[in-house]
Chains A and B, each alone.
Chain A
Amino acid sequence: MSMATTPDTPWQRLAVLVNGRALPKSAVPELSITDFQQAILGGVARQCRVAALFGMPDRTSPDALWLYVVLADDDSSRLRLGRTRIGDNSFPSLTPACWQVHLFEREIAEQFGRVPVGHPWLKPVRFHRSYQPGRDAWNRPAEAEIAAGVMDFYQVKGDQIHEVAVGPVHAGIIEPGHFRFQCDGENVLHLEIALGYQHRGGERALAAGPGPRSIHYAETLAGDSTIGHATAYCQAVEALGGIQKSARAQSLRATALELERLANHVGDLGALSGDVGFTSTQAFCGRLRGEFLNMTAVLCGSRFGRGLLCPGGVRFAPDVSAIDALRRSLVRAEAETRQAVELLWNSSSVMARFVDTGVVPRQLAIDLGMVGPAARACGLNRDARQNHPSGLFRFTHIPVATWESGDVFARAYVRFLEVQRSCEFVCQQLDSLPSGAVRSPLAPLAADSLAVALVEAWRGEVCHVVLTDEQGCFERYKVVDPSFHNWAAVAMALRGGQISDFPLCNKSFNLSYCGHDL
C-alpha cells in the first residue's frame, strides 16, 4: 500500500475493516457520488474486488438513497467501505469503466428504481417490483405484470443465424433458468442468461430480523451452500454482538464448511464425467457425494448441515465415537474419490473434452470480479479462507489451489486439488478437536453499525453485509452469493464455443440459481 503520496484521494478516504468485524455506520465516510465512484475505480486499479455494492433507503428523507460499497483488498486482507447519498432518480453508471459492478447496478436499479445512466445492459435481474412503490427504473406501470425472463434479448440477425432457447424448465432435475443462444450453425456467437425464477425475497426476509427464523432464512439462501451462508450470517451477528466463539465451535464450523465443499466438489466431478458420457466416475462420485453428505449428518443429523450453526457457536457437538466414525469414513472416502477421479485425468477421451473447452482468460476473470474455484482455475489467487481469514482459518491455513488454463479441465482439477486439501484439513481437525463448550451466550447487537462477513463457501466467496438501526435490529441485509459474480463468466466462456459443449461448460461452473435470485 502506498499510503504516503497523495493523502486525499477518494480511495484513501474509505473506511478500513477486517472480515468478521463491525464498525459504527458513522465511521463509513460519506463521499460525493463522483468521489464514491473514483474510490471504487481507485480500489479496482489496486487489485481490489467489489465484494458488494448496494442501496439502502435513507429513513430521514424518502427521496434519498444510500449506496454502500465494500471493496475486498485481497493482498492486505482488508475491506474498504464507503457510502454516498444519491437523491434524484438517476446516477452515472460505473459499469463502462468497471465491469464487475454491472450486475450490482442493475440490482440497484431494480430494487430502488434509480437508473444508472449509461449502463450498457440495463435489464432487470430478478423480475420483481421495486422496493419503493412508485419508483421503477423502466417506468413500467404499477399494474403491469412482471414475469421472470420476459425482456428484450440481444439478437444477432442474419440468414445463417439461428436462435436456441433453453429452459426455464430443463430436462434434468436442476433449477430454472433461461438461456438464449445466438448460433451460427454449431458455433455460439452469444449467450444471454435470464434468471430470477427463484426469487423468494431472502434479503428482505432476513432484514426483518434478527429473530429465531433468521438463521434458517440464511441456510436456505442457496440450499447447497447451507453452511457457507449460515456461517456468514453467524459471523455478521457475532461481529455486531461482540460474541466470542469457543475454539471447539470454530473447529466444528470449519469442519462442516469443508465437508460441504467435499460433498459438492465430488458431486460436481461426477456430474462432469456424466456430461461427457464417462459413466464409471459418474457412478462412483455420485455415491461418494452421498458419503460426504452423510458425514455432515453425523455432525448434526442433516445431510445438508441444516440446524448445525447458530450465532454464538454450533448446536451439536459430536462425541468421541462419532468423531472416530467420521474420521474412518473420511479416510476411506478420500481414497476412493482419488481413485475414481484419477480415472478422468488418465482417460484421453475425457481430457479431449475438458481441455480448451469454455476458456475464461485470466484478465476477463479479473474484470468480471470472479470468485471461487472458477476464478482460481483462471490462475487467480482468490480464496477468502486465505485472503480474508475468519474463524478457525485465522490459525490454520489450507493452501490455495489454482490452475492457469481457465478451461473446464482447470475448473475440474482445482476441485480435485481442493478435495484432497479439505480432506487433509478435516482429518487434522478431527484429530485435535478442542474440548469445551460449543455455544457462547448471545448479546444484543450494536446499534447503528455495519458488519461484513466473507466466507469461502464451496462455490466461492459468500458476502453478507448487515446494517443495524438505532435499536440494534437489522435495517438492511445484503447477501452476495458467489454465483452473482460468476454467471456473466458462463456467458463469456461460451462465446465462440460449441453449443454442444454448453452443458459441460455450465456444469464446470455449477452456479446457483437460487443463490443469484435470492
Chain B
Amino acid sequence: MALSLINMVMHLVLLAAAPPLMLGLIQRTKALLAGRKGPPLLQPYYDLYKLLRKGIVLSKTATWIFRAGPMVTLVAVLLGGLLVPFGTSAAPLHFQGDVILLIYVLALARFFTSLAALDTGSSFEGMGAAREVTFACLSEAALMLGLLVLIKFSGSLSLNTMLRAPAMHAFAMLPVASLMLAAVGMFIVLLAENARIPVDDPATHLELTMIHEVMVLDHSGPLLALVNYGAAVKLFVFAALFLHFVPPVPSASPALNWAVFAAEMLGVAVAIGLVESLMARLRLTHVPTLLVAASLLCGFGFILMLR
C-alpha cells in the first residue's frame, strides 16, 4: 500500500513537473547537433513563468471558447496522463475500457484547440485548424491500431494492464515483430501528434507553414502558458505511451524502475532531437503518406498477431 502510494505520488509529480524539461532536452539536443550552445535546460520553465506574469490580449470577436480552449485542452491531456502508466509502475487511474477514454480525451483536447483557433476568425488559424484535424484523422487511426496490438496481446481494455503487459512477460513470450512494427508507427504518431519535424516545425516563425503553432497564434500571456504547458504534457504522455512498445525488464526495486523510466524518457527526447536535426520537414502534401505508413505499420503489427 505504501509502495503504491509512493508510485502514485511519483506519477503525479512527474506528470506535473517534468514535461517542460523534456522540451528543454529536445532543444539542447538540437542545439548541440547544430554546433550551438542552446538555451538552458530549464528555459521552458522560465518561459512559462514569464508568460504567467503577462497580460492577455483578447480579440473583439473572441468568445468564451477562445479562453476555454487552452484550459479544456490542458485538463484533457492531464487526465490522459493519469490513465497512462509511466514505466512499469501502475497508473493512478485505471478501469476496464479506459483506453477508449484516453482516445476521447485526446480528441477533446484537439477539438477545443481547433475550436479556439476557429473562434478568432483569422484566416491563418482556420488554415491551421483544417490541417490539424485533417492529419488527426490519419494519426488517430494509427494510434488505435497501435493500441490494438497491445489489446490483442494482453486481452485487456485497460491501459494499466495492456500497456504494461510487454514488461510483465518474459522476452520469449513477446510478439517482438508486432511490437517493433507498432513501435515505429507509434513514434511517427508521437512526432505528428506533438507538432514535431517532419510533420510540423515547432521552431518556425512562418505562419503559413505551421500546423499547431498557427492555431494558438492569438493566445497570449497566461493563456499561452497553458497552451505551451498543455503541449508539453501531451508530448510527455505520448512519450510514456510509446515507451511501452519498447519495454525494459522490470526490476524488484521501484526506485530503479523510476530511474529506468527517466532514462528512457531522456532517450525519447534525444531521439526526437536527432530526428529534428537530421531531416527537414516534409512538404505538407506528403504528411498524409507518412501517417498512412504509420497506420500500416501498426496494422501489420496487429495482423501478425492474428494467427
A residues apposed to B, CB below 8 Å: 162-166, 171-172, 185-186, 273, 275-280, 282-284, 287, 347, 349-350, 352-353, 357, 498-504
Q: Which chain A residues border B156 with CB–CB below 8 Å?
A: none
Q: Which chain B residues border A163 with CB–CB below 8 Å?
A: 123
B209 touches A (CB below 8 Å): yes
The reply to whether B204 and A279 form a contact with Cβ atoms under 8 Å apart is: no
The reply to whether B284 and A279 form a contact with Cβ atoms under 8 Å apart is: no
Which one of A165, A171, A282, A350 contacts B34 once the chains associate, using CB atoms below 8 Å?
A282
Which one of A171, A172, A282, A499 contacts B127 once the chains associate, using CB atoms below 8 Å?
A499
Assembly CA distance A186 to B285 (angstroms): 9
B residues apposed to A, CB below 8 Å: 30, 33-36, 123-124, 126-127, 130-131, 197-198, 201, 203-209, 276-286
Residue of B131, B203, B204, B286 most packed against chain A (CB within 10 A) = B204
Q: Which chain B residues border A503 with CB–CB below 8 Å?
A: 206, 208-209
Minimum CB–CB distance from A180 to chain B (whole Å) comes to 11
A-B contact pairs, 17 of them (CB 8 A): A162-B126, A164-B123, A186-B131, A186-B285, A275-B204, A275-B206, A277-B201, A279-B33, A279-B277, A283-B34, A349-B198, A349-B281, A352-B282, A498-B283, A500-B209, A500-B283, A501-B284
Which one of B34, B130, B204, B286 contacts A352 once the chains associate, using CB atoms below 8 Å?
B286
Query: B281's closest neighbor in chain A, by CB?
Result: A277
Which one of A172, A279, A349, A498 contacts B206 once the chains associate, using CB atoms below 8 Å?
A172
Assembly CA distance A284 to B31 (angstroms): 11
Query: A501's closest neighbor in chain B, by CB?
Result: B283
Which one of A162, A284, A352 contacts B283 once the chains associate, using CB atoms below 8 Å?
A352
The reply to whether B277 and A280 form a contact with Cβ atoms under 8 Å apart is: yes
Assembly CA distance A485 to B51 (angstroms): 44
Q: Which chain A residues border B203 with CB–CB below 8 Å?
A: 277, 279
Which one of B124, B276, B278 contacts A164 once the chains associate, using CB atoms below 8 Å?
B124
**Besides A350-B279, A353-B282, A501-B284, 6 other CB < 8 A contacts?**
A273-B280, A347-B278, A347-B280, A349-B198, A357-B283, A498-B283
Q: Which chain A residues border B30 with CB–CB below 8 Å?
A: 279
The reply to whether A283 and B35 form a contact with Cβ atoms under 8 Å apart is: yes
6 smallest CB-CB distances across A and B, nearest first, come from: A283-B34, A276-B280, A349-B279, A503-B206, A277-B201, A277-B281
Assembly CA distance A156 to B169 (angstroms): 62
Minimum CB–CB distance from B282 to chain A (whole Å) comes to 7
Q: Which chain B residues border A277 with CB–CB below 8 Å?
A: 197-198, 201, 203-204, 276, 280-281
Q: Which chain A residues border B278 with CB–CB below 8 Å?
A: 347
Assembly CA distance A350 to B286 (angstroms): 13
Known: A171-B207, A280-B35. A353 touches B280 (CB 8 A): yes
